[in-house]
Structure 1
């Protein structure tokens, strides 16, 4: 797949991906959604410390990164944070700025991200923040070639019904392969096929309360030993 820019339309101030007809974040509260699904879903920030690696399927607006960065700052744990995201359709800087402009509490982090945003440039050390790498292209090709393992995964592709490629069992198996022992994954999706694929990838899978209008979401943990 060749790299392409995301095509965006706006509905009540929320960016919608035209390719999938799905919003980039909760219509209720995008920050609270990330905190509930991806931070709490991965037991963060309690697990921060050391050289902590987060990986993500779907960078989108960068909101998950900013919420994580703010939580990491507040936690004040020693160590480093790396954030790697696999994104097929990187968002143009002006669209990203418009989307992130809704979250005043994250303005300093958004400003730093936007100043550095060049999805083709490889890893970027954000000022006093995480090492960010957005790997562009089809995750089914780029993730298996990744040479690292994550402590925590944010599985944030668009809805499995609209973007099934990011929820295929073979891709989630690659997520499992690229997860450290004791590592975790979380997603807003509670679809049975997603939970089954994560289980098949070696995770212990739990369905828990979702955010907002979603009744359930999924948490997963890689056992400490085989």
Structure 2
């Protein structure tokens, strides 16, 4: 079934971007994938500390943000988690709400986020969270960003279908906006992506992927 802004809904409530012909999260268990790839891949919650800053390429349904917030709250760290995400094609609140129905744990805390998002807010404040979603072409918005992240979630659509999100120049910008000993994690193990991240200054390693994906990539800024 097709609905909303270029979405097709697969069985199980998985939204698929018609623009990129790629699902917004795992056709299996998207929340488990987020935890395996982005949280475990960045060694979280072990590295959490007050003021910790996560940045992300590809906001999508906000599932990664909510998973990070659940993890942050459980860790009991003082103050809010800072979270910045770069998104070219933001979804409507109704589509996000529909997608999150597949993940009761995330849906249970999503109400304040959805209310703010529906009102047009792109700076989101919730208990334990200060988040900003920067909308636009990331090749323009990331270079202009003044922040630095402690951990990156690289979660754009697949490199084969959305190559602009994974180019060498953009990976260099990721590194330039990473704090000392900062990290990244991504579901992709594509060779050109790993080489771009290495060229940007990350020490890159391949790890076991989630589900049917054999490998993923993680790294620390050297």
Q: Give me the TM-score of the superposition, normalised by structure 2.
A: 0.95
- Corresponding position of 1:109: 109
- Corresponding position of 1:96: 96
- Corresponding position of 1:151: 150
| Ranges in structure 2 where 5+ consecutive residues have no aligned partner | none
Instruction: Indicate if the aligned counterparts of 1:54 and 1:150 stay in contact, CA closer than 8 A.
Output: yes
- Corresponding position of 2:171: 172
- Corresponding position of 2:160: 161
CA displacement at 1:122 relative to structure 2: 4.1
What CA deviation, in whole Å up to 9, does each residue of 1:41-64 have, x standing for no partner? 000011111211100000000000
- Helix, strand or coil for the counterpart of 1:89? coil
What CA deviation, in whole Å up to 9, does each residue of 1:180-213 have, x standing for no partner? 0110000000000000000011100001100000
What CA deviation, in whole Å up to 9, does each residue of 1:109-148 have, x standing for no partner? 221211111595342222x121110000000000000001
- Corresponding position of 1:123: 123
- Corresponding position of 1:46: 46
Instruction: Indicate if the aligned counterparts of 1:119 and 1:134 stay in contact, CA closer than 8 A.
Output: no
CA displacement at 1:162 relative to structure 2: 0.3
Q: Distance in 1 between matches of 2:153 and 2:31?
A: 14
Q: Distance in 2 between matches of 1:203 and 1:209?
A: 19
- Helix, strand or coil for the counterpart of 1:148? coil
- Corresponding position of 1:210: 209
| RMSD after superposition | 1.3
Q: 2:203 aligned with 1:199, yes or no?
A: no
Q: Distance in 1 between matches of 2:120 and 2:152?
A: 22
CA displacement at 1:80 relative to structure 2: 2.7
Instruction: Indicate if the aligned counterparts of 1:207 and 1:217 stay in contact, CA closer than 8 A.
Output: yes
What CA deviation, in whole Å up to 9, does each residue of 1:66-121 have, x standing for no partner? 11110101111223311100000000011001000111122232212111115953
Q: How many pairs align? A: 218
Q: Distance in 2 between matches of 1:139 and 1:73?
A: 29
- Helix, strand or coil for the counterpart of 1:102? coil
Q: Give me the TM-score of the superposition, normalised by structure 1.
A: 0.93
Greater shift in the superposed pair: 86-95 or 5-14: 5-14
- Corresponding position of 2:61: 61
| Ranges in structure 1 where 5+ consecutive residues have no aligned partner | none
